Amino acid sequence: KNQVEQSPQSLIILEGKNCTLQCNYTVSPFSNLRWYKQDTGRGPVSLTIMTFSENTKSNGRYTATLDADTKQSSLHITASQLSDSASYICVVSAGGTGANNLFFGTGTRLTVIP
Amino acid sequence: DAGITQSPRHKVTETGTPVTLRCHQTENHRYMYWYRQDPGHGLRLIHYSYGVKDTDKGEVSDGYSVSRSKTEDFLLTLESATSSQTSVYFCATLQGTYSYEQYFGPGTRLTVT
């Protein structure tokens, strides 16, 4: 069964600290993996998109890694800011162009406190 | 944000009434999607469209219908709303066949009482 699991479900960190969010998936075949940031009351916004040939991708203070062999990805946030408080969603595409081949994790809720 | 707007942004309705949610995009993206988001669940696909008048069902399509008469508009209709359809609904677009990045609208919070 194609699944995407994220951990932890929620996380509280102090401003300025680093954190790492995890995404494990069983989706096959694999096409690409995306990380989205969703602020409260807003739609998800793309942070990174990685294909199977990419194992690291950065977007400012956000760095995503991908291990296609172990089917794991992580999102590392450096020097956290209050504005990083949001839900982070991992999405895995099983390839092809159909809309039914996207599998969404339930997200990690990050709270950054001063 | 690919110029996606959703209307209304909030709606409260009674069980059994019909409800239509609208998604409007300004970027001429080919694909449009409707998702619902509920606590404990990832975003779940309701219906999607791959062109004008071309639509297909998603994972949780029961009780919903869609229409796309113009490239820029994708309508989601709940024919007879039920309390289980209380949710936040997101519209998304994808530029073309070989695009990866979906763009999401701001969402519509629907409460069925």
Cis? peptide before B8, omega within 30° of 0: yes
Phi, psi at residue A82, to the nearest 5°? -55, -30
Residue to test with chain B: of A39, A50, A106, most B Cβ within 10 A? A106
Residue of B21, B60, B102, B103 to mutate, testing the A interface (most A Cβ within 10 Å of its Cβ): B102
B97 contacts on A by Cβ (under 8 Å): 97
Phi first, then psi: what are they for B63, rounded to 5°? Answer: 90, 0
The first and second tokens of residue B21, run together, are 């949610």
Question: For residue B99, what are the contacts with CB-CB under 8 A and spacing of at least 6?
Answer: none
User: Inter-chain contact A100–B58, Cβ cutoff 8 Å?
Assistant: yes
Q: What is the pLDDT of residues B20-66, one digit of tens each?
A: 999 999 999 989 999 999 998 889 999 999 999 999 999 899 999 99
Neighbours of A7 (CB within 10 A): 12
Which pLDDT belongs to residue A95? 72
Per DSSP, B15 falls in state: T
pLDDT at A100: 67
- A46 and B101 within 8 Å at the Cβ level: the answer is yes
Tens digit of pLDDT for each residue in A49-107? 998 888 999 999 999 999 999 999 999 999 999 999 999 999 998 876 556 688 999 99
- A4-22 pLDDT, tens digit per residue, is 999 999 999 999 999 999 9
- Phi/psi for A84 (5° steps) reads -80, -10
Cβ neighbours of A102 in B, within 8 Å: 45, 102
